[in-house]
Amino acid sequence: MTAVRLGAVGYLNARPLVVGLDALPQFDLRFDLPSECARLLAAGEVDLGLVPSIEYLRDDSYQAVPDVAIASKGPVLSVALYTTRPVRDVRTILMDTSSRTSVALTRVLCARLFKIAPAIDAHAPDLEAMLSRADAALVIGDKALLAQPQLARLASAPSSTFGGPDLSSEVEKIDLGEAWSSMTGLPFVWAFWVGRAGALRPGDVAALQAARDAGVGRADQVAREYFRGDPEHQELGVSYLRNNIKYYLGADERAGLELFYRYAAEIGVVSHARPLRFY
């Protein structure tokens, strides 16, 4: 039996979805950045990808694994826009190259909530470098989750350190999960398992849902193993997995996802929205 090739995100928030999958012979698991997971799936180099949610719309043949997702309602902590001026005055944003859904969400929020039309470009996720070149920076994943000490250093540094705008004033963190939920009252779905028709066999969906259940039940252990030897990060990771990230694709999550798709299509981030189809 040929193993189903799984492409999963390497960040902490994805680890509860893959607990025990590496021990199952029907799966071959690898970890990558979210943008790379999307590329591998599009190229046919994996059969099923834990991809940024916007990627579902890139191919009309894609289907999703039911009731499994990385989602949040309210603050997510790990997807943030960092600004050196009030958001209404932001004219330039550099976007984390690791991201696709968060880039789309930033564009939606700029259009619908912040009421700005900034110039946008991509940049490697280096907060100092990004904020030296633009008014704001989008950073995702572990780098955003663990950014607070760096923010403190940025806020206390003279502007000449970075050769750009004055970063000695406070850098504001705008949590994009919180911004979305405040605007819509709905959760936001960051990623979910997606593949083409026929990618999964009978029993594979149940195995992926069982891995989710195991990971949710062992969230503390997952965080401590991920940040092995670092008690401060372990404590943050445990709280994050318990309180900020949700792993089910229920009715509210689906409503939030479908609204995001509609908004993204309206501003031209994607060519069209389409209904969710499941294995």
The residues spanned by each domain of the chain are 4-71+186-254, 79-184
Q: Looking at residues 230-248, what average pLDDT do you find? A: 96
User: Which residues face 5 on adjacent strands?
Assistant: 28
pLDDT value at residue 163: 42
For 181, the token pair is 């939920």
Task: Give the 3-state secondary structure percentages of the chain, helix then strand then coil, rounded to 5.
Answer: 45, 20, 35
Residue of 163 and 56 predicted with greater confidence: 56
pLDDT value at residue 170: 79
* Residue percentage of the chain with pLDDT more than 70: 92
Predicted confidence (pLDDT) at residue 164 exceeds the cutoff of 50: no
Q: Residue 147: pLDDT band by 50, 70, 90 thresholds?
A: confident
Distance CA 270, CA 262 (A): 9
Predicted confidence (pLDDT) at residue 155 exceeds the cutoff of 60: no
Q: What values do phi and psi take at 157, rounded to 5?
A: -90, 145
Query: What does the buried/exposed string (b/e) look like for 189-224 if buried means 16 or more CB atoms within 10 Å of the residue's CB?
Result: bbbbbbbeeebbeeebbebbbebbebbbebbeebbb
Q: Residue 219: pLDDT band by 50, 70, 90 thresholds?
A: very high
Q: What is the pTM of this model?
A: 0.91
The CATH number of 79-184 is 3.40.190.10
What pLDDT, in 10s, does the model give residues 174-195? 999 999 999 999 999 999 999 9
pLDDT value at residue 1: 74
Q: Is the fold of 4-71+186-254 the same as that of 79-184?
A: yes
Range from 45-49, 94-98, 151-155, 216-220 carrying the lowest mean pLDDT: 151-155
Of 187, 199, 177, nearest to 65 by C-alpha is 199
- CATH of range 4-71+186-254; options 1.10.287.70, 3.40.190.10, 2.30.110.10, 3.30.200.20: 3.40.190.10
Q: Looking at residues 73-84, what average pLDDT do you find? A: 96
Q: Looking at residues 62-90, what average pLDDT do you find? A: 97
What pLDDT, in 10s, does the model give residues 98-126? 889 999 999 999 999 999 999 999 999 99
The mean pLDDT of the chain is 93
